Amino acid sequence: MKKKHILLIVIAVVIVLLVLINMRARQERALAVQLEKVTRSDLSMIISASGSIRPKRQVDISASSIGKVTRVAVKEGDFVKMGQFLIQIDPIELKSAVARLEAGLASAKANERQTYVQVQKAKNDLQRTHQLFTQGYLTDQEVDAAQTAYEVAVAQHEAARHQIAQQEALLESAKHNLKEVTISAGMDGVVTRMNVEEGEVAIMGTLNNPGTVLMTIADLSTIECEVEVDETEVVDIELGQMVKVTLDAFPDTSYTGLVTEIGNSPILSSSVTGQQGVDFEVVITIQDTVLNVRPGLSADAEITVAERDSALSIPIQSLTVRRKKDLKGFKSTDSTGTDEGDEEIEGVFVVEGGRASFRPVTVGISSQQHFEVLSGLEEGEAVVSGNFRAIRNLRDGQKVKAAKRTAKK
């Protein structure tokens, strides 16, 4: 019986040893990872944004008076020249107003001539009164009455002159209003929007209510792309940077542009989750000619914010972070007794002697596939580049082997 117990104990020990040996073997089994050498390449850091295109210059033509549209001389899509007739609003009432004011001005001028004559008569009467007074034929009261009559005549003449000036101002305003109902193009361009037809009533705008926008004329010779850029990226954008613009309407064609405006005020928007996002408006002037362009077309912009020639580079997926306490040789406290174990370090895994060694690195700009390496690596060193799961679980000092790359079909 005693021998049986000893045998069972021996068997259990053997099983435990086998399990430990197996676990040890698994731990030492080389993990298959993808490797890539640190090389030099040309990098471009690009910020992508979406928006729409617009003409650099456009004007909305609105009515400056209330009236029925009696004539429309153009249609949407027409090219117009500066000064070309566009729309006529019924001028009958304004013509009548001009005629009334012209008659009033004529009457005011006639009244002014009449008061002038009265001034001359009162002046002559005053002179004769003074002569007769010196000869002793008239009293002081009669001289004062003649003086008063002269001053009244002068005042009436002055009022008549002011009446003429008032009538002239009113007539000038009425003529201006009459001119405004005959609307002409203020610039060369294309009619991109037509909002009225003959017979409709145009409404003039007020302080709180906008008037009827009759039409919009746009100068399509210079096109801009207006995009919204996130607050974390707009700080890297500068005036004059090169941009590649593509339009959804012409997906096979790209256009060259330059950053010409960067907004200083944020555009606040609320997402579905209720969180508020902050974007900034960036305006790009397209340098190429865009055929068959229409304002409002959707656009995508790729803004090149930085470039590096022949820079040391690593794949984006190679860069990872590790806590200090997970690295070999880490001491839990420094000379001051501070525990820095949870501090994260940015770096890559370099393969040395068949094992992955974590190497802290400093990176610069990033392209779509690579990071620029500023320090920590040398050209030709092999770094772990994939897969993502392997990099995420890889331990400092773990044994690794190069995985076979599958040929792309």
Identify residue 60 by its one-letter amino acid code: D
pLDDT in tens, the chain (409 residues): 555 666 666 666 667 666 655 555 455 577 888 899 999 999 999 999 999 999 999 999 888 888 899 999 999 999 999 999 999 999 998 999 999 999 999 999 999 999 999 999 999 999 999 999 888 888 889 889 999 999 999 999 999 999 999 999 999 999 998 998 899 998 999 999 998 889 888 887 655 566 678 999 999 989 999 999 999 999 999 999 999 999 999 989 999 999 999 999 998 765 555 566 789 999 999 999 888 888 999 999 999 999 999 999 999 999 999 988 888 766 665 555 556 667 889 999 999 888 899 999 999 999 989 999 999 999 999 999 977 888 888 888 888 888 776 544 4
Question: Whole-model pTM above 0.85?
Answer: no
Q: Which helix (H) or strand (E) holds 152?
A: helix 140-180
- What DSSP letter does each residue of 130-148 carry, written as one string? HHHHHTTSS-HHHHHHHHH
Strand partners, 356: 351
Strand partners, 72: 87
Two tokens, residue 98: 């001009």
Q: What is the pLDDT of residue 133?
A: 87
Token pair 């209720």 is at which residue? Answer: 274
Query: Sheet harboring 67-72: ordered strands across?
Result: 182-184, 85-89, 67-72, 201-202
Q: What is the pLDDT of residue 136?
A: 84
Round to whole Å and give the CA distance between 257 and 351: 44
Q: What is the pLDDT of residue 205?
A: 61
Q: What is the pLDDT of residue 256?
A: 95
Helix axes 140-180, 92-134, angle to 10 degrees: 160
Q: What is the pLDDT of residue 409?
A: 45
Two tokens, residue 198: 């003959």
The alpha carbon of residue 112 and the mean position of all alpha carbons in its chain are separated, in whole angstroms, by 60
Q: What is the pLDDT of residue 292?
A: 85
Sketch out the chain's domains with CATH numbers: 28-43+311-402 (2.40.420.20), 50-54+221-309 (2.40.30.170), 93-174 (1.10.287.470)
